[in-house]
Structure 1
Amino acid sequence: MERKIMSLGRSSLVISLPKYWANLNELKRGDVVSLAVQRDRSLVVFPGAEKKREPREITLHVDPERMGSLIARKIIGCYLNGYSRMTILSEKVFSIPQRRAIRDIVRMLYMRIMESDAKSMHIQTLIDESKASPKTAIHRMHLIAHSMCRDALNSLKNRDVQLAKSVFSLDDDVDHFSFFLLRLLRNAARDPILANQLDIEPIDCMDHQTLVYRVEHAADHSANITKQIIMLDGSQQKIPNHLLTLMFTAGTEAVSLYDKAVDAFFSKDIAKSVEILEAQKKIEKLDREIATKAFMSKQKSALVICAICSIRESIAGVAECAADIGEIAINRAYKMTT
């Protein structure tokens, strides 16, 4: 619908509100509406005076026989959908595994247990979302994930178990960022005021959300590599040196592509993104070479063969993350601007 701008006095410009919209929101003469200027210079009109955003609350009823992991999954779902206060109620006393699962996920989501008794728990997030910076948080998340990938390969090359254990422990830090960013981006996608405060356009939330998933997957792949290193050390078995060198080469290429892809995402560098997609073919060739030499090797240990296959898949997975991010970067470069 369109409205013609009218002049009122010397400096005021006036437009009329649609009667249907006013009736729908039960507005009458003398009522107050709120206005918000968006990043694309459009104007959003809200019925009523501007109010402070109230924390969303929800009550979860827990079956006493439910596994703790299912309760944790429900809490994650509520958290990602913007609930800041949750009350968890059980007909009977929480079991020890249930209580442990709740405490673990509360810690993972940076929430706090405000009240607790035998049959109920009240948890709350204390983060002010409007003051967060999605881009800064994603950069920090990427720095951790990239260092994990790099150090995982070094621990593989040098058979450094202590470094592998250190890298594996960092996976939780990436998960912290992932949950927080997904909540932030989902909320911003449906709340234009929050998106404006976060300096992000609602349409960009989908691209950033996909980026967060891919960065998390890259970190998961590096954690899996270190897991195989730790497992092999525990069984006192080793990957043959010629395969180790080949996997390190492929892994280094994949991690380099991943780092370039994230940079291309923010810079919207099409040329770099195309290079990343083309370079993935080289890693696919190395992957086939690793597979061929692994099955032709004199190594007969099933444990070693399984570890090689798992590490192979993780290296290929990092390269796929890079390719996915590169494709998003190309799409973003052609986004229509207002």
Structure 2
Amino acid sequence: MNPETRKVQITGGSTYIISLPKTWAESNNIEKGDSLTLWPRDDGHLIVEPRTVSGGKRMEVILSEESPAHLLRRLVGLYMAGHRQMKFTTEVRMSQKTRNAIRELTRRVVGTEIVEESGDFVLVQDFLDPSDLPLDRTVRRMFVMASSMFKDSIISVGESDPDLAKDVQLRDDEVDRLYWLVAKQFNMVLKDPILASKMGMTSLECLNYRAVARTIERIADHACKIAVYSTELQKADVNPATMKLIEDYSLLSADLFEKSVQAFYERDLGLANKTIDVVAKESGFRQKLARNIPKEDSTFAVALAFISDSIERVASYSANIAEIAINHVTLKES
């Protein structure tokens, strides 16, 4: 639909009136006496919302036989696209493998259920209203989980606790679920700017939350990686100096992670800059640890190298969040 120009009329000396485009009114079934919702935006635009919003059209996809892992990745991508209804069909009777992948999708993501199915199709409905679980709450929940995962992964390194290491790996799935939800909500905001207003933020603020969520998801991945390699150290006699170096820098990385997210939520420019400065100052951790690793048994030196890399990446990602926090502050100021 092409843009149309309307002249503003004034009635009663104080009421401003413009006419609605006929094609838009007809396509949205606007009738005399209907109410429309007006959404004034900070950038000066005014969004007109019809009395009923469809919440997104049904998306239909024809699926072909492929490996369960490949199919699940595709289904997650379709979920993140922000469709409220997804109808999956096959040209012949749907295989059990494909049905299992669709069921796995509904188990792995937030808010979806299978509402109808037959021999050649499955209909999935997204029942979650994005405004009921806004981005700021979801991202904060991701931070709480990822922070806990990172701290527990380091404990599993120091105490050789395989059960704790396994628990960290299981929690990574929950962080992924929340990240996919954030990505889906952001994509829905791109399609429907009104949604951002309903969540109490602008589209650009939503972009910042999406960027922070992506970074937190990566930190959770590295916590999971540390937990995996910690199991290789269960029977290792690691040099105490090496372990002390790992523990000290892990505590610093955890603190930087917490401060970066705090700076983002509180829009604290000073704290964000301080976090970035500390990360830059302490960037030589891996080099210090590398000098100790050759002294260790070669059977677990590789595990220590991967663990040290992930710890340093958590600090680096914290600096990334702090940079997003600075953008968040300047966005509010502009």
Do these two structures clear the TM 0.5 threshold for a shared fold by scoring above it?
yes
Determine the C-alpha separation between the residues in 2 that align with 1:52 and 1:293: 62
Identity level (%): 23
Q: Give the TM-score, by structure 2 length.
A: 0.87
Alignment match, 2:103: 103
- Pairing 1:124-203 to 2, within 5 Å after superposition: 124-203=125-204
CA positional deviation for 1:56: 2.7
Determine the C-alpha separation between the residues in 2 that align with 1:103 and 1:257: 39
Determine the C-alpha separation between the residues in 2 that align with 1:95 and 1:3: 55
Q: Select which of 297, 313, 317 maps to 1:317.
A: 313
Partner SS state of residue 86, structure 2: strand
Distance verdict in 2 for CA 1:92–1:239, change over 3 Å: farther
Q: Which moved more, 1:271-280 or 1:183-192?
A: 183-192
Q: Does 1:91 align with 2:81?
A: no
Q: Which moved more, 1:317-326 or 1:128-137?
A: 128-137
Partner SS state of residue 76, structure 2: helix
CA positional deviation for 1:246: 1.1
Aligned length: 327
Determine the C-alpha separation between the residues in 2 that align with 1:160 and 1:29: 67
CA positional deviation for 1:31: 8.8
Does the CA-based 8 Å contact 1:153-1:252 persist in structure 2? no
Q: Which moved more, 1:203-212 or 1:152-161?
A: 152-161
Determine the C-alpha separation between the residues in 2 that align with 1:178 and 1:103: 19
Alignment match, 1:299: 297
Partner SS state of residue 207, structure 1: helix
Q: Which amino acid aligns with 2:240?
A: N
Alignment match, 1:67: 67
Does the CA-based 8 Å contact 1:254-1:319 persist in structure 2? yes
Alignment match, 1:14: 16
Determine the C-alpha separation between the residues in 2 that align with 1:207 and 1:225: 27
Alignment match, 2:40: 38
Determine the C-alpha separation between the residues in 2 that align with 1:336 and 1:14: 30
Alignment match, 1:252: 251
Determine the C-alpha separation between the residues in 2 that align with 1:273 and 1:258: 11
Q: Deviations over 1:154-200 (max 9, x none)?
A: 22122222222222211111111111111112212332221111111
Determine the C-alpha separation between the residues in 1 that align with 2:257 and 2:80: 26
Q: Which amino acid aligns with 1:129?
A: P
Q: Which amino acid aligns with 1:314?
A: S
Does the CA-based 8 Å contact 2:145-2:175 persist in structure 1? yes
Distance verdict in 2 for CA 1:36–1:238, change over 3 Å: farther
CA positional deviation for 1:32: 6.1
CA positional deviation for 1:132: 2.1
Does the CA-based 8 Å contact 1:291-1:309 persist in structure 2? yes
Distance verdict in 2 for CA 1:3–1:121, change over 3 Å: closer
Determine the C-alpha separation between the residues in 2 that align with 1:253 and 1:185: 32
Q: Which amino acid aligns with 1:252?
A: L
CA positional deviation for 1:318: 0.7
Aligned-residue RMSD, C-alpha:
2.8
Q: Deviations over 1:199-225 (max 9, x none)?
A: 111111111110000111111111111
| 5+ residue gaps, structure 2 | none
Partner SS state of residue 83, structure 1: coil
Determine the C-alpha separation between the residues in 2 that align with 1:241 and 1:97: 50
Determine the C-alpha separation between the residues in 1 that align with 2:332 and 2:106: 40
Does the CA-based 8 Å contact 1:250-1:287 persist in structure 2? no
CA positional deviation for 1:3: 7.9
CA positional deviation for 1:60: 1.5
Distance verdict in 2 for CA 1:325–1:88, change over 3 Å: same
Q: Which amino acid aligns with 1:112?
A: E
Distance verdict in 2 for CA 1:39–1:135, change over 3 Å: farther
Alignment match, 2:262: 263
Partner SS state of residue 335, structure 1: helix
Q: Which amino acid aligns with 2:54?
A: R
Does the CA-based 8 Å contact 2:264-2:324 persist in structure 1? yes
Determine the C-alpha separation between the residues in 1 that align with 2:21 and 2:87: 36
Distance verdict in 2 for CA 1:62–1:168, change over 3 Å: same
Alignment match, 1:308: 304
Q: Does 1:227 align with 2:239?
A: no
Partner SS state of residue 201, structure 2: coil
CA positional deviation for 1:250: 1.3
Distance verdict in 2 for CA 1:258–1:311, change over 3 Å: same
CA positional deviation for 1:151: 1.3
Partner SS state of residue 54, structure 2: coil
CA positional deviation for 1:263: 0.5
